[in-house]
Amino acid sequence: MKHASRIQALEGLLNRVRARATEPRASQRAEAHAVSTAERHDPEPPTARPGHDPAEVGPGARDLPAVEASRVTEDPPVAAQRVAEPAPPVVVPAPVPTPAPAPEPPPPAALEELEELGPADEESPQSSTRPRPPADELEVLEEEDVIDGSPLPPVVAPAAEVTPAPLAAAAPAPLSAPSSGEIMSAELLPEPPPPRPQLRSVPPPLPAAATPARPRSIPPPFPGVGRPPKPESLEAEVPQHRVGPTPEQLGGTIDLEEGPPADLELAPVAGPKSEEAPSEHEAVLPKATSPGLFTGPRPSAPQPQPDEVALEVPASPAPPAAPAPVAAPAPVALAIAPEVAARATTPSAEVARFVAAARAPSPETLGEVLAASLALGT
């Protein structure tokens, strides 16, 4: 009996659906879109709308500010995701619509009739992102659709889905509507929901360094809706930004430290350069070459550092192959010249005259001198 009553109800619904299918679907879709758009852009919060009971959207809706509500209305898909957040197993709208968990499969006859309806009946009735049907139609359904003599429950779930329900309004009640509500949803929303551009338009993952900071007011993407992170893609990006040796290379370095075996090492070259003291080298070098061909510096004094010896090599005198004329030390000649010249400039004749002319002056008075001078010529 129960199946029979249900079948009758389904037939009624199917009839009405057929009748409605004859109507132009485009106009209906436009009308539904207009209604949903009007509700989305409603500046008033849902709690302020006349005739709207906040209790329908769930507890806590009154406490939310208007800004939060408006923000949610601007992004209906996100709002729908938020609504579905409390019950992930049921609401998570994966990109591929999951089959609705029908409480009971319809009888084969009903299925045949449903198949005749075409693709309009194939969609999932639990899609919360479906555009809300016109309000007048909802009212009609509330008044007319009666199953088993009882009026259908008010279609609260679509209202909660479309209206700018805040985050706290994600009451599972509309989604967990009674099984009868599922059927009603299938009737009310015969058309398949348009593809969600929001879900598909998830921006590709940017590089870690180029990812802009997300504004604080914008919530993070829903974990169940957005593209799940791909570990393989992250691993592919890491080598591009990594600078430096990889752990494998570091391991190779450790291997190098071990070094080859001792038998592969080169034997020390036997030559003049050894670890002996530099002074010993300098003592041996003159013996190895002949004095005439030796062009290096002759050992004069033991040098403690080999670097100092190398610096002194350019300052060595010219090789003996080009004999340089022996020049007298000019500085010495200049130093003696003034002495010789001084002796030469003093003639001995003048010295003799000076000695001869020298006479001890005797103090004479004016009278004596005058008397001697007056005696001249006498």
Q: Min. distance of Cβ 337 from another protein in angstroms?
A: 39
Provide the angle, in degrees to the nearest 10, between the axes of the packed helices 25-40 and 66-74: 150
Q: Does 365 bind another protein (CB under 8 A)?
A: yes
How far apart CA 95 and CA 85 sit, in angstroms, is: 16
DSSP state of 150: E
Contact 127, 50 (CB under 8 A): no
Q: Does 139 bind another protein (CB under 8 A)?
A: no
Residue 115 or 368 with smaller CB distance to another protein? 368
Q: Does 370 bind another protein (CB under 8 A)?
A: yes
If we measure between CA atoms, which residue out of 97, 145, 92, 149 comes closest to residue 122? 97
3-state secondary structure (DSSP) of residue 272: coil
Which listed range, 30-38, 85-93, 209-217, 367-375, lies at the site for another protein (CB under 8 A)?
Answer: 367-375
Residue 355 or 366 with smaller CB distance to another protein? 366
Read off the amino acid at residue 40.
Answer: R
Q: Does 308 bind another protein (CB under 8 A)?
A: no
Q: Does 367 bind another protein (CB under 8 A)?
A: yes
Q: Min. distance of Cβ 347 from another protein in angstroms?
A: 24
Residues contacting 132, CB < 8 A, separation 6+: 32, 35, 36, 39, 158, 159, 161, 162
Parallel, antiparallel, or unpaired: how do β-strands 150-151 and 146-147 relate?
A: antiparallel
Structure tokens at 291: 């004095």
Which listed range, 143-151, 313-321, 334-342, 364-372, lies at the site for another protein (CB under 8 A)?
Answer: 364-372
What is the CB neighbour count within 10 angstroms for residue 20?
14
Site for another protein in 344-363 (CB under 8 A): 363
Q: Min. distance of Cβ 368 from another protein in angstroms?
A: 9
Which listed range, 19-27, 47-55, 276-284, 368-376, lies at the site for another protein (CB under 8 A)?
Answer: 368-376
Binding mask 310-349 for another protein (x = CB under 8 A): ----------------------------------------
> Phi and psi dihedrals of 31, rounded to 5?
-65, -45
Binding mask 74-113 for another protein (x = CB under 8 A): ----------------------------------------
Read off the amino acid at residue 335.
Answer: A
The footprint of another protein (CB under 8 A) covers 363-367, 369-370, 372-378
